[in-house]
Amino acid sequence: MLTIGTLAKKTGTKVQTIRYYEQIGLMPEPDRTEGGQRRYGDAELDRLSFVRHARQLGFSLEAIRELLDLGDHPGKSCAEADAIARRQLKQVEQRLARLKALRTELKRMVQECSGGQTADCRVLEVLRDHSECLTDHEEIGA
């Protein structure tokens, strides 16, 4: 059996985060010693590792909850898990497109800066006047 500190170290998760996951039901309420200390087994270690990895991949807590539910019911169709992963992939691709547009705009601003005085600074000019931007800020999420 593992203490919460050991579980945190093994998974790279903060103790406060583990407690939070317990509060919102992503992690089950752990067994406790007579002194009230939390104790975790391999099942909890596996579950927390799953949650941690899913968070690293950018899945929302609600998506993780859905995935955990699917994993808890091995007879369910994998199509639901696939749909969740496809949604996540689409979101990642959208973020990448926005980041690429931001990178392009920032590169252009920096390249056009002459390095003179701030009165003639291209970076400040573009930031003041949105019509100078090549990128649609609505698409980027501004």
DSSP letters, 10-65, are HHT--HHHHHHHHHTTSSPPPEE-TT--EEB-HHHHHHHHHHHHHHHTT--HHHHH
b/e map 50-64, b = 16+ CB within 10 Å: bbbebbeeebeeebb
Which residue ranges make up each domain of the chain?
4-71, 79-140
Copy the structure tokens of residue 94.
């959208």
Copy the structure tokens of residue 36.
């009230």
Summary mean pLDDT of the chain: 88
Confidence of residue 63 (pLDDT cuts 50, 70, 90): very high
Q: Right CATH number for 4-71 from 1.10.1660.10, 3.30.450.40, 1.20.1260.10, 3.90.180.10?
A: 1.10.1660.10
Q: What are the tens digits of pLDDT across the range 64-116?
A: 999 999 999 989 889 999 999 999 999 999 999 999 988 988 888 888 777 77
